[in-house]
C-alpha cells in the first residue's frame, strides 16, 4: 500500500510546489524581493493563492458531494419505510434499496468519495509548507522542482517580521538560524492561531445551524466534536505549526465559509416537513392557503352551493326585493 501511495504523493507534492512557485513568480513581479512592512508578500500571497487555486480546482467535487447528500436526505423517508417493511429480511431490504438508488440516480458513496479525493491534496499542502526549513539538508532543498535559491528565499520569508518557517514554540537556536526575534514570532503566531481556531469554529457552526442539529444521539455527538473538539485541538497543535501552515489553514477556512454560504443558498437542505429548508412555505402550501382564504373569511361566510335543479337567482332582483 505504501509503495503505491508514495509515488502518488510525490506527484501531488510536485504539483503543489509548481503552483506555489508560479504564484510566487507572479507576485514577485509586483512586489519584488524587498520586504514591505516586514513581509515578503510574494511568498505570503503565493501561499494564499496556492490554497485558492487548489480549492477552486476541487470546488466541482464539493458541489457533487453536496448534491449527493441532498439526494440522500430527500430519500430518507422512503429508506425508513423500506427498513420498516423488510425488518426481518435483510437481503430483500438491500435489493429494494439498490433498486431505489438506481431509480432515483442516487449514490450513497458519493457523499464520502470527494472527501477521500481531497485528503491527499491537503496532506500535500501541509507537507510542502512544513518542508520549508532553513535547516533542511542541501540535497532535500531541490526536491519537487525547487532550486536551492528558491528554497532559501521561501524558508527565510517573513510575515510582519516573523519567518513563515518559525512556530510559536520555536527554540532559541531555531530562531537564531532564522534571524528572528522570539517576541515577534510569538505575537504573529498567536494572532494567526486565534484566527485559525475562530474560522474553524465558525465554519462548523455555519453548517450545523443551517442544516440543524441531528436527532440521533451519536450523530449529535459527532457534531459537537466537530464544533468544539477540533477548534480546541488546534489550540494545542497550532503551537507547533509553522506560520506558513497556519496561513494556509486560515485561508482555506475563509474559503470554506464563502463556499458553504453559496452552496447552502444554492442547494438548501430539505426541511423535515417537506419544505425547502429555507423557512418559506412551499408552492403547494401557498396554493392551499390561497384556496382556503378564497373560500371563507371571518367577515364573509362561504356561500352554499345551489341545489340541483333549483332556479337561478338574479342578483339584481334579489337586491331590489331586499330594499
Instruction: Tell me the per-residue pLDDT of 51-63, one tens digit each, with 9 for 90 and over.
Output: 899 888 888 877 7
Beta bridge partners of 297: 300
Candidates 146, 147, 145, 187; CA nearest to 166 is 187
Burial call 65-92: b when 16+ CB within 10 Å, e when fewer: bbbbbbbbeebeeebeebeeebeeeeee
Q: How many CB atoms lie within 10 A of CB 237?
A: 12
Positions of the chain with pLDDT lower than 50, given as ranges: 1-4, 274-305, 308, 318-323
pTM of the model: 0.70
Query: Measured in Å, how far apart are the chain's first and last C-alpha atoms?
Result: 97
Q: What is the pLDDT of residue 112?
A: 64
Q: What is the pLDDT of residue 27?
A: 94
- Please give the distance of CA 146 from its chain centroid, rounded to a whole number: 31
| Residue 139 buriedness (CB in 10 A; 0-12 / 13-18 / 19+) | exposed
Residue ranges per domain, the chain? 2-266
Inter-CA distances, 118 with 16, 58, 81, 272, Å: 13, 7, 34, 30
Q: What is the pLDDT of residue 18?
A: 93
Q: What is the pLDDT of residue 4?
A: 42
Orientation angle between helical segments 2-31 and 113-130, nearest 10 degrees: 60
Amino acid at each position: 500500500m505504501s509503495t503505491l501511495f508514495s509515488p502518488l504523493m510525490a506527484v501531488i507534492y510536485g504539483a503543489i510546489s509548481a503552483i506555489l512557485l508560479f504564484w510566487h513568480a507572479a507576485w514577485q513581479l509586483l512586489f519584488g524581493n524587498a520586504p514591505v512592512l516586514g513581509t515578503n508578500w510574494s511568498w505570503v500571497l503565493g501561499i494564499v493563492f496556492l490554497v485558492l487555486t487548489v480549492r477552486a480546482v476541487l470546488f466541482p467535487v464539493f458541489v457533487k458531494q453536496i448534491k449527493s447528500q441532498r439526494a440522500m436526505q430527500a430519500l430518507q423517508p422512503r429508506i425508513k419505510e423500506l427498513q420498516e417493511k423488510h425488518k426481518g429480511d435483510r437481503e430483500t431490504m438491500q435489493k429494494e434499496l439498490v433498486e431505489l438508488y438506481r431509480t432515483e440516480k442516487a449514490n450513497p458513496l458519493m457523499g464520502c468519495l470527494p472527501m477521500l479525493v481531497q485528503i491527499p491534496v491537503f496532506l500535500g499542502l501541509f507537507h510542502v509548507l512544513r518542508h520549508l526549513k532553513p535547516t533542511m539538508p542541501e540535497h532535500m532543498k531541490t526536491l519537487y522542482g525547487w532550486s536551492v535559491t528558491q528554497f532559501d528565499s521561501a524558508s527565510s520569508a517573513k510575515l510582519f517580521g516573523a519567518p513563515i518557517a518559525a512556530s510559536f514554540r520555536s527554540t532559541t537556536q531555531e530562531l537564531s538560524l532564522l534571524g528572528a526575534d522570539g517576541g515577534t514570532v510569538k505575537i504573529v503566531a498567536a494572532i494567526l492561531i486565534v484566527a485559525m481556531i475562530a474560522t474553524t469554529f465558525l465554519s462548523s457552526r455555519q453548517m450545523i445551524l443551517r442544516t440543524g442539529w441531528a436527532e440521533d444521539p451519536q450523530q449529535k455527538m459527532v457534531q459537537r466534536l466537530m464544533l468544539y473538539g477540533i477548534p480546541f485541538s488546534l489550540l494545542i497543535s497550532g503551537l507547533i505549526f509553522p506560520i506558513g501552515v497556519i496561513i494556509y489553514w486560515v485561508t482555506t477556512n475563509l474559503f470554506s465559509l464563502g463556499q458553504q454560504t453559496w452552496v447552502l443558498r444554492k442547494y438548501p437542505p430539505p426541511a423535515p416537513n417537506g419544505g425547502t429548508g429555507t423557512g418559506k412555505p412551499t408552492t403547494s402550501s401557498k396554493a392551499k392557503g390561497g384556496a382556503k382564504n378564497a373560500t371563507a373569511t371571518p367577515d364573509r361566510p362561504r356561500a352554499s352551493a345551489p341545489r340541483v335543479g333549483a332556479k337561478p337567482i338574479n342578483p339584481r332582483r334579489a337586491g331590489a326585493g331586499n330594499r
